[in-house]
Amino acid sequence: MEKAIVKLKKGEGRTIKAGGMWIFDNEIDTITGEFENGDLVEVHDFDDYCMGTGFINTNSKIRVRVMSRKKGQEIDDDFLMMRVRNAWEYRKKTVDTSSCRVIFGEADFLPGIVVDKFSDVLVVQSLALGIDRFKEQIIEDLKICMKEDGIAIRGVYERSDAKVRLQEGMERIKGFIGEPFDTKVEIVENGVRYMVDVEEGQKTGFFLDQKYNRKAIQKLCKGAKVLDCFTHTGSFALNAGIAGAASVLGVDASDLGVHQATENAALNGLQDTVTFLCADVFDLLPELEEKGEKFDVVILDPPAFTKSRNSVKNAIKGYREINLRAMKLIKDGGYLATCSCSHFMTPELFTETVGQAARNVHKRLRQVEYRTQAPDHPILWAADESYYLKFYIFQVCDEK
């Protein structure tokens, strides 16, 4: 059956021409031929030059997600295996694969699907209609690649329960793919043990993107008094504890998160050093300042304060407030680790916001390092959405 042809307006398609993967609804001039949402279509420039093959969905503003830029490429079993094998081979070269993201959507040229590996369990999140048709094949291909390296996968869990699926005209779903299994999985990362709940944890169960950023704070924390804000399940706090911190306080607004973090501290024998508090960070930081508390290291790992361009101004206020408050709590010469995981909070905007916070409280920042997400979340140039995590470590000095 002939594929429908999506033809772009003259002057459009800048993203795909630069190496990206998306065609937006307002870039399209005409669609000729029959198709159903989720079908593969050919993308042509205004002059009929073939720009690739992707899957279409008229429910989404991202009208076409490109699977291949090669003219006439069939998206068949061999093609999918090639993409999956390339993704796995890349991880083997760049990260510790005991637990890692093995497929990162567009950045692995498999748009709309994410697969995380937690020890011997895979968690899949399918976010686009076209790729949803291929998800079980992709999982089977991954199992084959891993088996060749002596890795047996005991279970697969689907966490396709993100709201973005509604924008694709899809239901939010979660559950087992294949046989049921115990969804609490123990992993080890940077020498720290965690119990990951792939069924009830946030997103796919655990945030793997901060793996090497967590390791980077270890060298600052030996003998230190540490405050870890937005601790989630305690990952930064536990990295501080295992590095030999004198004391660590982790704070999160989620009862479940604090409970899991406390269990993780006990799992590592750190329950006497690393403690957790359920509280709103925005309320707690001024209270600690009022009490005269001071810390050697403060870590800020907040959730995304903005998920759209429309709310960036409010996000700036939030980031400025927590960074300002954190700097007030740091001893002269102490350290601040601060980050933003929002794609819409650009590196330039985040840098400017942290700088404003420092000026407002008369602190001088000495940059130790700037980092992004771990390499298993590769940044695909021209696909801006794949670059989202900004992570700074600063020494915070008083003005004198």
What residues are annotated to the active site? 341
Q: How many helices (H) and strands (E) does the chain have?
A: 11, 20
Instruction: Calculate ∠ Cα 336-340-342, nearest 5°.
Output: 175
Under a CB-based contact definition with an 8 Å cutoff, are residues 319 and 345 in contact?
Answer: yes
User: Hey, is 228 helix, strand or coil?
Assistant: strand
Under a CB-based contact definition with an 8 Å cutoff, are residues 8 and 27 in contact?
Answer: yes
Distances (CA, A) of 45 to 10, 27, 109, 199: 7, 10, 20, 43
Q: Which helix (H) or strand (E) holds 296?
A: strand 295-300
**DSSP states along 300-337:** E-PPPS-SSGGGHHHHHHHHHHHHHHHHHTEEEEEEEE
| Tokens coding 275 | 């403690």
Strand (E) positions, 206-287? 225-229, 247-252, 274-278
- Strands 50-56 and 192-197 come out as unpaired
- Distance, in Å, from the CA atom of 68 to the CA atom of 242, rounded to the nearest integer, reads 45
At which residue do the structure tokens 């030999």 appear? 244
Backbone angles phi, psi at 19, to 5 degrees: 115, 5
What is the layout of strands, in order, in the sheet containing 5-8? 22-24, 62-68, 50-56, 40-44, 5-8, 28-32
Under a CB-based contact definition with an 8 Å cutoff, are residues 344 and 309 in contact?
Answer: yes
